[in-house]
Structure 1
Amino acid sequence: MATPSFIFITGGVRSGKSSFAERKAVEIASKTGGRLNYLATGVASDPEMKERIEKHQHDRLSGAYPWKTYECSEQIGKMADEFNAKDIVLLDCVTTLLNNESFSYAQKWEERFLENVKDKIITGISFIKNCAGTLIVVSNEVLNEPLLSNEMVFTYGRLLGQIHQDLVKEADQVFLVEAGIPIVMKGVLR
């Protein structure tokens, strides 16, 4: 069976999606001999996030397979040239990337700005997908709760939903992770 070139993984906060994505990447690397690359979008904006980033870094460094980590909180498309057809790239996560791209500029959230943010994210992911052997993209599923209480939250949720739909259309495999259990939403479990 051919190795999937694009895998999209979503799930709730602390659902186990990042751990599953890392296991999936290692599984692919062990079959293909490819190099593991981690494209981290998180920013240590508070003590909890700093601790989570440090834990993820430690886990990747102490594992049986070596990871090369790239910290890139915005404009991920510029990273595409770092990767080649032997690389397995894990991008974690779209939700944080959307947050970073949306709030990095003192900009009103007008439709043109939001469309540019969405295009920048989708295009960046596409550039990486076209260079890497396998791209695994992780995102949070935040659309299960009512978002009507705040216009900014509603707009963010709408934009994230559009990004998810675009990514799912392109993905070879899609997983929803619930309580650490991956559920195949598209493609075949390999």
Structure 2
Amino acid sequence: MIFITGGVRSGKSSFAEQLAKEKAQKLGGALHYLATGVASDQEMAKRIARHQREREESEWSWRTWEQSTGIEAVAESFTSKDIVLLDCVTTLLNNELFSQQNWNPQVLTKLLHGIESVQACCAELILVSNEVLWEGINHENKLVLEYSRIIGNLHQVLVARSEKAYLVEAGIPIVMKEEMA
């Protein structure tokens, strides 16, 4: 598993796609894009459409899975040679949290189960996430504090389980973790 994070518009998705292509070429597997975005407003709808168009126009063949929650449902669709790019963990967390009737901080367990299910079925899982709370935390908002705790814990667990982790800034990937094979 490879974990990639960075700020908004940092180039992390482009970097992740390039890594996925290189892995697919090396392993001879198919490319899968596990998209978690939901077109909740016009800007997001345009971003989703742009990403879909870019993958369709790519010289590489991508199979896109639109799965905003419960990613374990598609895990068995992948083979042991496939490369799966999940974009993005933060959006998946948001979707899971806000699809519930009541705020449930145990969502971390559900997310990890879904990610583990996908990882178990493919050759390589590449996770893209966002650094959304760098600018500080509003200590008076209980919801923001709980969210920051969940996303922070999720990132720590995912990086610990990943063989590589990158931070992308201004299109430049910075290695945060690299285990030698």
Fold conserved between structures, TM > 0.5: yes
Rounded Cα–Cα distance in structure 1 between residues aligned with 2:171 and 2:24: 21
The equivalent residue for 2:5 is: 10
Deviation track 1:124-159 (CA, whole Å, cap 9, x = no partner) reads 101111110000000001131211252212211110
> In 1, distance between residues paired with 2:55 and 2:145?
34
Structure 1 position 61 matched with structure 2 position 56: yes
RMSD: 1.4
Trace 1:33-182 onto structure 2 (pairs within 5 A): 33-107=28-102, 109=103, 113-115=104-106, 117-148=107-138, 149-182=140-173
Secondary structure at the residue paired with 1:37? strand
In structure 2, how many angstroms separate the alpha carbons of the residues matched to 1:127 and 1:105? 21
Question: Hey, what's the Cα distance between the residues in 1 that align with 2:179 and 2:7?
Answer: 22
Q: Which runs of 5+ in 1 are unaligned?
A: 1-5
Percent sequence identity is 55
Within a 5 Å distance, the mapping from 1:175-190 to structure 2 comes to 175-187=166-178
**Secondary structure, in 3 states, of the residue corresponding to 1:42?**
coil
Give 1:71's aligned amino acid: E
TM-score, with normalisation over the residues of structure 2? 0.96
Task: Give, in whole Å, the separation in 1 of the partners of 2:178 and 2:56.
Answer: 31
Poorly superposed stretches of 4+, deviation over 2 Å? none
Any conservation in 2 of the 1:10–1:138 contact (CA below 8 Å)?
Answer: yes
Question: Which SS does the other structure have where 2:115 is aligned?
Answer: helix
- Secondary structure, aligned partner of 2:94: helix
Q: What secondary structure does 2:105 align onto?
A: helix
Q: How many Å separate the matches in 1 of 2:111 and 2:31?
A: 22
Q: Is the 8 A contact 1:143 1:161 kept in 2?
A: no
The answer for unaligned runs of 5 or more in structure 2 is none
Distance 2:65 2:72 in 1: 12
